[in-house]
Amino acid sequence: MTLPVLKASDFASDQDVRWCPGCGDYSILAQMKKVLPDLGVPREKTVFISGIGCSSRFPYYMNTYGMHSIHGRAPAFATGLKSTRPDLMVWVITGDGDALSIGGNHFIHLLRRNLDINVVLFNNRIYGLTKGQYSPTSVEGQVTKSTPMGSIDHPLQPLSVALAAEATFVARSLDAHVKHLGETLKRAAEHKGTSLVEVYQNCNVFNDGAMAYAQEKKQRAENVIELEHGKPLTFANGTKGIRLVGTHLEVVETSDVPADDLLIHDETDPNPSIQMMLARMSYPTMPEPIGVLRAVSGVPTYDEQINQQVQTATEKKGRGDLNQLFNAGDTWSVQ
């Protein structure tokens, strides 16, 4: 039997997409549909689970199995599903409010357990569906409907959180950089273990241009570093680079330093310390990294192990027999 070759359009459901015109979500949806046929997983074996928020409408637009769940809890639904159905490819679609505010707890625990699940976190630094309150990734001083005098919260950095939980795959991409986004999603899907992809996503209604420094092509070269495993960290068309000095990273002009002074990116290092330094680089003082910060292989997944324990117990004790269980221990008979 030959498997039918699927196209991006085969992954589109019959529902009208209802995001605002110009929303960055469209680009992520398009890249996802484009990537999925390359993965070779049939549609019926693919499940999208989301929480609540604009991004979380995503499953309705995919012709796969899907669940639009409750606010912040998508990782927990996905955990129950993947633990019992390791044969499925499970995606979690979430946003900055969903994953980092109401669902912060589930987010870190999914990452530390390392279930073989892919998480796409749409980060637009604002609450869109509730019409414009600040989010846990909004920058300090940001004026929103709920912070008329500016936000006094210190923003949370999703990549740092993921690295602190020792996630095995941590990456970032941009909705505007579609090629990079597609490649990053594909790598996330191919990684065995929990993959986190943070996507800078523009909310053109409530937080337009919040990440223009990275999204706009003209500014991107100066403000973004595309990470490549085994390559020195350079940006600004190769004119600038990153050097490790003691426990800090600093920007240098590549012409001023010997080439081997530049930091070589190692996504496979199990020690997340330098990856954490990369995650903490932020505009405007530093360029922000996109691409794969961390991809550590060989860490057992939770879904693999929970099923392994069932198998081991069955091999050791034999498949459970209820009559035997009921009659084990002290019993007596009445005639």
Partner 1 sequence: MILVNQQITHVSLAGSRPTSKSGHNKLHMEATTSKAVRSVSGITVRLAGDSGDGMQLLGTQLTNTSALAGNDVATFPDFPAEIRAPRGTRAGVSGFQVQFASEEIFTPGDVLDALVVMNPAAMVTNLGDLRKGGILIANEDGFNEKEFKLAKVESNPLEANVIEETYRLIKVPMTQLTREAVSEFGLGVKIADRCKNFFAMGLVYWLFGRSLDPTLRFIRDKFGKKPEVAAANEAALRAGWAYGETTEAFGESYQVEAAELTPGTYRNIMGNQALAWGLITASQLSDKDLFYGTYPITPASDILHELTKYKNFGVRTFQAEDEIAAVCSTIGAAFGGGMAVTASSGPGIALKAEAMGLGMILELPMIIINVQRGGPSTGLPTKTEQSDLLQAMFGRNGESPIPVLAPQSPGDCFDVAIEAWRIATQCMVPVMILSDGYIANGSEPWKIPSFDELPRIEIRHPEGTDLDEPFLPYARDEHLARPWAIPGTPGLMHRVGGLEKEDGTGNVSYDPANHQHMTNTRADKVAKISDRIPDQEVYGDHSGDLLLVSWGGTYGACHTAVKRSRENGHAVSHLHLRYINPMPANLGELLGSFKRVAVAELNQGQLRMLLRSKFLVDCQGINKVQGKPFTVSELIESIEELL
Which residues sit at the interface with partner 1, rule CB under 8 A?
A: 13-15, 42-45, 47, 49, 52, 59-60, 62-70, 73, 75-85, 87-88, 105-106, 109, 306-307, 309-310, 312-314, 316-320, 322-323, 325-335
Provide the minimum distance between the beta carbon of 135 and partner 1 in the complex, in angstroms, as a whole number: 20
Which amino acid belongs to residue 161?
V
Is the Cβ of residue 115 or residue 277 nearer to partner 1 in the bound state?
115
Written in H, E and C, the secondary structure of 257-305 is: CCHHHECECCCCCCCCHHHHHHHHCCCCCCCEEEEEEEECCCCCCHHHH
Exposed e or buried b per residue across 29-44, where buried means at least 16 C-beta atoms within 10 angstroms of its C-beta: bbbbbbbbbeeebeee
Is the Cβ of residue 87 or residue 260 nearer to partner 1 in the bound state?
87
Nearest-angstrom CA–CA distance, 172 and 185: 10
Greatest alpha-carbon span in the chain? 96
Provide the minimum distance between the beta carbon of 239 and partner 1 in the complex, in angstroms, as a whole number: 46
Tokens encoding 246 = 């003691």
Is the Cβ of residue 148 or residue 320 nearer to partner 1 in the bound state?
320
Is the Cβ of residue 61 or residue 200 nearer to partner 1 in the bound state?
61
Provide the minimum distance between the beta carbon of 107 and partner 1 in the complex, in angstroms, as a whole number: 10
**Angle, in degrees to the nearest 10, between helices 178-190 and 25-39:** 50
Instruction: Give the phi and the psi of residue 41 in degrees, each rounded to 5.
Output: -95, 125
Nearest-angstrom CA–CA distance, 113 and 124: 26
SS3 at position 241: strand
Provide the minimum distance between the beta carbon of 325 and partner 1 in the complex, in angstroms, as a whole number: 7
Is the Cβ of residue 166 or residue 183 nearer to partner 1 in the bound state?
166
Is the Cβ of residue 154 or residue 317 nearer to partner 1 in the bound state?
317
Provide the minimum distance between the beta carbon of 335 and partner 1 in the complex, in angstroms, as a whole number: 5
Nearest-angstrom CA–CA distance, 216 and 208: 12
Q: What DSSP element (H or E) covers 222?
A: helix 217-223
Is the Cβ of residue 78 or residue 233 nearer to partner 1 in the bound state?
78
Tokens encoding 79 = 């955990």
Provide the minimum distance between the beta carbon of 142 and partner 1 in the complex, in angstroms, as a whole number: 29
Q: What DSSP element (H or E) covers 253?
A: strand 248-253
Provide the minimum distance between the beta carbon of 25 and partner 1 in the complex, in angstroms, as a whole number: 16
- Burial class of residue 281 (count of CB atoms within 10 Å of its CB; 0-12, 13-18, 19+): middle
Provide the minimum distance between the beta carbon of 316 and partner 1 in the complex, in angstroms, as a whole number: 7
Is the Cβ of residue 260 or residue 315 nearer to partner 1 in the bound state?
315
Which amino acid belongs to residue 307?
N
